[in-house]
Structure formats: structure tokens, C-alpha cells
Structure 1
Amino acid sequence: MEKYSVLMSLYKKEKPDFLRQSIESMINQTIMPDEIVIVKDGPLTPKLEQVLKEYQTSHPTLFNIVVSENNVGLGLALNLGLKLCRNELVARMDTDDISLPERCEKQLSVFKSEPEIAIVGAFVSEFNTSSFSVVSTRKVPTSHPEIYEFAKKRSAFNHPVVMYRKSKVIEVGGYANLRRNQDVDLFGRMLFTGCKAKNIDEALLMFRINDDLAKRRKSWGGNTKSYISTINKFRKIGYSSTWDVLMVAVAQTAMFLAPLRLQHFIYKKFLRE
């Protein structure tokens, strides 16, 4: 199997225990990564620094800690780390999620059998932090034609479980300087310029959900406006249609205006399984 890198971005508000769980899930993959690149997106807390120091000490050749003196946001932090990844295949990972043991082995298998593929994602199981019980599954389209059409209006991938080709990401300019929806923007541009993609039809990552996630979804400037702007950007380059933008604008605005309980019901009833 081809070697791969893991790419993570760490912000000061992350919880040390969550970070440990995330790192452990990557170290214990059935095919271990060749390196784990962690970008420190601005100053961290002493407890987070201690976690990084522990792993650098126990795995001195595995970890590459990259420092961004200022908090630049997820997209730019990932660009910084991506440039320093030494392998062509890069597995994205968030610092509060948990990858299942066979995640990367299954993704590597797709790249080996289908070398034209540039992006391989999967489903994710969303779990409640307090009880550690799975509450829903975010399924995404699996074949390239389905993904290509789906991505014109909605996020066709679960970003924390994606593995992609470094050269293809860099070819389209990497992540844009956006505070939200960096992944939707990047993968849309990659698909539009001819990159092939696939999602594995099973959950390969445990995605942590909490009240903060719901609040971010109800942010106009931080989420709703940004999402509409991203799809409108696709329209300008000829990927999405005007009708796509209108549908997204109506749906996103309705979700923004909906009370949190109604929003949660819609997500669980119609957008999750």
C-alpha cells in the first residue's frame, strides 16, 4: 500500500482529551500513517501543548508540528500543513473526531484500484459527546456522477474523513481564505476542473456533535451567508446554475430562521439517517 500523511489543524479552544482520542485513532489505524502533520493555528493552551509534546516524545519520527504564529483559520492553516506533507495521499482529520481503525486502509484500497480518483470520502456516524452514543449518520452520494451533481448545491463530502491527492488540491489553489465552508469550496472547484471522486458507503469516522455545532449552523454571517456565497461562486465559474443558487438561498435562509428545536428535527428527519 502507498504511504500517506495525516493533516490536522489545532486551535486553542480544542479539548486535550478530544485531541488525544483523535490522535490515538490515527496511530491505531490498520495501516499506520507515514507522518502526522499538525498545524498549530495560533497560540495554544499549556494543556494542548503538553499533549503534543507527549506524542512527539513517544513517536519522534511520526509527528511534524507546524507553527502558525497567528490564528489564520482552518483553510489557510491546512494549506500551510499540506505544503509540508511528504506524501501524495493525505488523510484529513479533525482534532475532536475519531477515525475507525480500518478507515485509511479502505481509502488506500480505492486509490490503488482506481488510480484516476483524486478524492475518497465516506459516511460519518454522529455521536453525542456526553453519552458516546451514535445519534445519526450523514450519508453522502457514492459514485462520481452523483457526487458531481450533488456538490452543485450541497456538501458532497464529510470533510474530516476525506483522503485526497495533494497534487490535485494544490493544482486548484488549495483551500480559499474562508472562515466557513472551505471544504465545500475546495471540492467544488476540484470536481469542476475534472477531478474524479468517490465516497465509501459506510461510516468510517465518529463525528462529535454538541450544542456549539447547532449554534454555528444558526449563524448568518458565519454559516448561512457564507454557504450561499460559495454556491454563487460556483455559478460564476459555470458549475452551479442560477436555480441551484436560488434553491440553496431559500433552504439556508429557512434553516437560519427556524428555531433550534425545529432545525434539529429537520436535520435528523430529512438530512440524516
Structure 2
Amino acid sequence: MFEPIVTVLMPVYNGSRYLREAMDSITRQTFYDFEFLIINDGSADHSKDIITSYKDGRIRLIENEKNIGISASLNKGIAFARGRYIARMDGDDISMPERLYKQVLFMESHPQIGVCGSWVKTIGEWYQGQLWELSTEPEQIKCQLLFTTSLSHPSVLIRREVLKNTGLSYNGRYKYAQDYKLWMELAKTTLLANIPEALVQYRFNDNQVSTRYHREQMQEVDSIRLEQLYALGIAPTLAELEIHRRIASNAVFENEVFLQMADTWLKKIEERNQIVEYYPKAALSQLLHRFKARLHEKSGN
């Protein structure tokens, strides 16, 4: 049986508008040793026609009889994957030609890393041309998970052995923040990193999950944040959780009362971590101090 180095895993649901552009970006990779595993999740548009029009032996199409959602489709893909690594891809994004080559090279030379993402550049209807310079150091990435996801989902390359050894996969209870949940769980047992180069172009459009299901996604994000706060021994009040949300999204109130409450909240987190050591102490302190400095700079104090 052909066992490629990489399985590129891409679920598709009614994604015909940008699908060919996304597929071209994978089939034209400079790194050749991969299988392209596409899960057609009950699409009712021309997605299947586009996929089957490619005469590339590396493409494997799996069709769901009905729409089962992204988490279940990704888990199905993981079960079918034959590669040493699993590269995530979405049907509306674009991978740079050397993406797989650079990520495989990085992972081969950093065996302690379980998940490798990259910086991304935005394309599409909003935020055109923005560069997301995500943290690269594993300790900082783990700490940032207390506030938000620190990996761009369609940019990651996952060591399949890590998923097998931990028994982890995408949690079906999380329909809109399944990646954030998985990174949080994986960070308990392996290291996460980002390559400081934009290897993926991430598309913004009206049909994406973060636009159509923003409220539901934020509810799941809150759940993931709360799980980590509980691990620190903190049961936040509604007011504290709102402060946490605003710090995470940089949507802060520029007044003295909010600033004092935010300072108190960040101090509480740091003090609890000094006791339980859930996060690397120095890395979390640095992150919290950066948040505090940003708050004071924005408020002018």
C-alpha cells in the first residue's frame, strides 16, 4: 500500500466557488510525496464535478452519503489518512507552492513538535493582504490558548503519530471551534509551533463559519477558555469572563474603571498559575504583561 509522507486533508461542502483554486495550490506543490484526501460532505453544488475533473493519482475522494459536518468529516479523514503527517486544507484557501516542503522539513528537524502551523496572509472580501504574524515559540503558543487559538487551522501540519498515541481527534461537540479545542488538548501532551512565514492565504467570505455562526462559535470559545480557567482553579464571575473576552479580542474600554478591573484580572491569573503551574510560568507572565502594557497604551495611561 502506498504510504505517502503527507496526507493533505480537505473537507468540502458546497465549495465550488473557490475549489479549483484551492486544489490547484495543492497539486502544484513543490513537495510531491503526498496524498490529497478530499471529503465531499454531501455537497449539492458542482464540487464533485470539479474534484473528479482532476486526473491526479494522488487525489482520493471520499463521499459522505449526507452532510455530517466538519468535525465528523475531519475525523473520518484522519481514520483514512496514510501519511506520516496530516496537512489541513480548506476548499477556499490557497497554499503557497513550498508550503508542504517547508513544513515537512521543519517537522523532520524538530521531532519534539507535534503540530506545526505558519503565518498566514488574508485574501477575499475583507482584510485583504493582512499578515497574521502568529507566535512561533511553543511555550507562548500554549499560554495564548488561554485567550484564543494561536494556530491558523488551514495552515497546520499534524504528526499523525501524536493523534494515534493520544487518542485525540476533533471533538464532535464543537461544531464551530473544533480546532481551538483540539489545540488545547494537544498542548497538554505535545508542543505546538508556527513557521514565521506566510505559507497559506486565508480567505474571508460571507459563507465561512466565523461569519455565519459567530454567536455559536463564541459560545464554544468561551467554553474552551473556561475549561482552562477552571484548570487554574479560577471560577470567573460573569464580569471577569467579559473582561477576559475583551482582552482576548482587544475590544477594551478606554476608561480607568475597566483598566483597573483588567489589571486585577490579569494579576489573578498570574498568581494562580504561580501556584498550580498549568502554564510555563515565565511565558505566561510575559504574555500577561504584554496584555497589560497594551491596555495601558490604548487607554493613554
Tell whether the structures are fold-level matches, with TM greater than 0.5.
yes
Matched, 1:169 2:169: no
Matched, 1:148 2:145: no
1:88 aligns with one of 71, 79, 84: 84
SS in 2 for 1:70: coil
Give the distance between the partners of 1:140 and 1:188, measured in 2 at CA: 16
Partner of 1:75: 71
Partner of 1:124: 120
Higher relative contact order, structure no. (Cα contacts within 8 Å, ≥ 6 residues apart)? 1
Partner of 2:11: 9
Shift of 1:189: 0.3
Question: Aligned Cα RMSD in Å?
Answer: 2.7
The answer (yes or no) to whether the contact 1:152–1:240 under 8 Å persists in 2 is no
For normalisation by structure 2, the TM-score amounts to 0.73
1:227 aligns with one of 221, 233, 251: 221
The answer (yes or no) to whether the contact 2:147–2:245 under 8 Å persists in 1 is no
Counting matched residue pairs gives 244
Give the distance between the partners of 1:9 and 1:215, measured in 2 at CA: 17
Give me the identity figure in percent: 24
Partner of 2:204: 209
Partner of 1:199: 194
Q: What letter corresponds to residue 111 of structure 1 in structure 2?
A: M
Q: Can you give the 5+ residue segments of structure 2 that lack an aligned partner in the other structure?
A: 252-293, 295-301
Q: Can you give the 5+ residue segments of structure 1 that lack an aligned partner in the other structure?
A: 256-269
Shift of 1:215: 6.8
Partner of 2:260: none
Shift of 1:191: 0.3
Per-residue CA distance 1:22-75 (angstroms, 9 max, x = gap): 11101111102420111111x2235211111112xx11x311112222222111
**Structure having the higher Rg:** 2
Partner of 1:266: none
Q: Which runs of 4+ in 1 moved over 6 A?
A: 252-255
Per-residue CA distance 1:196-222 (angstroms, 9 max, x = gap): 1210111111111134459727732x2
Give the distance between the partners of 1:161 and 1:240, measured in 2 at CA: 33
Give the distance between the partners of 2:77 and 2:209, measured in 1 at CA: 28
Q: 1:225 to 1:253 in 2, by over 3 A?
A: farther
Shift of 1:172: 4.0
